Amino acid sequence: MNYYNYFTEIEDTFIRRRAKSLLLSPIDWAMIESWQERGIPLHVVLRSIETVFDGFDKKPSTRSIKGLLYCREEIEAQYDEWLKMQAGKAGDTTPAQVDESFSRENISAHIGTVIDFLQNSDNNNLLEAFGRAAARLEELRANLTDDFEVVDKTLADIEKFIDQALLTNSDKTHLKKLEKEIADQLKAYKKGMEPDVYKTTFDLMLLKRIREEKGIPRLSLFYL
């Protein structure tokens, strides 16, 4: 399964099984992003979604499955089982298989686009952070390997550095406004979420809003 189809494969599977036209919510997208960052394999997520709907079809209720949050517990449970099965396995260092369309040339161009954005930013509060991030990206581009998963993880580390700079340098009044809006969006779901999951989802949604407002491109190879 193509590593870089992580988001769309999950969305397609969920919508197909729900059998109704439905766009994923910001909460759903934030959860998918958190699963990807934690390294939960795509096949585990897809199998879990299928399992949840299979069980629901056998014992339907008056309540419908409206979002991926309904599948979260099953995904966590199957991921835990998958991790236990990996215990004891050693020596498997084979790089993730990716689509042939992903090449060093394409990845280099993608990194170059991000570097150009960072170097041409006129946001004075972020000039130093953007300069450091651009330097790290230049180094990565100069030392690209064919292990695209390792490249993507490095890009994720640089993106986290940028995210922290965004949070640190954002206008405090505007930041509080965004935090309140996101808290309101998550209010109906908070009771059903573990504290750490709620915090992760909240942080991802907040950063998504800030990135979108400032037009900052995403670094992950998924966005190629």
What are 151-165's pLDDT values in tens digits? 888 998 899 999 999
Q: Say if residues 115 and 130 touch (Cβ distance below 8 Å).
A: no
Q: What is the DSSP string of 10-66?
A: HHHHHHHHHTS--PPPHHHHHHHHHHHHHT--HHHHHHHHHHHHHHHHHS--SS---
Q: How much is the mean pLDDT over the chain?
A: 84
pLDDT(1) > 50:
no
In this prediction, residue 46 carries a pLDDT of: 92
More confident of the two residues 27 and 88: 27
In this prediction, residue 2 carries a pLDDT of: 46
How many Cβ atoms sit within 10 Å of the Cβ of residue 13? 19
Q: How confident is the model at residue 191 (pLDDT cuts 50, 70, 90)?
A: confident
Tell me the one-letter amino acid at 129: A
pLDDT(207) > 80:
yes
Q: How confident is the model at residue 27 (pLDDT cuts 50, 70, 90)?
A: confident
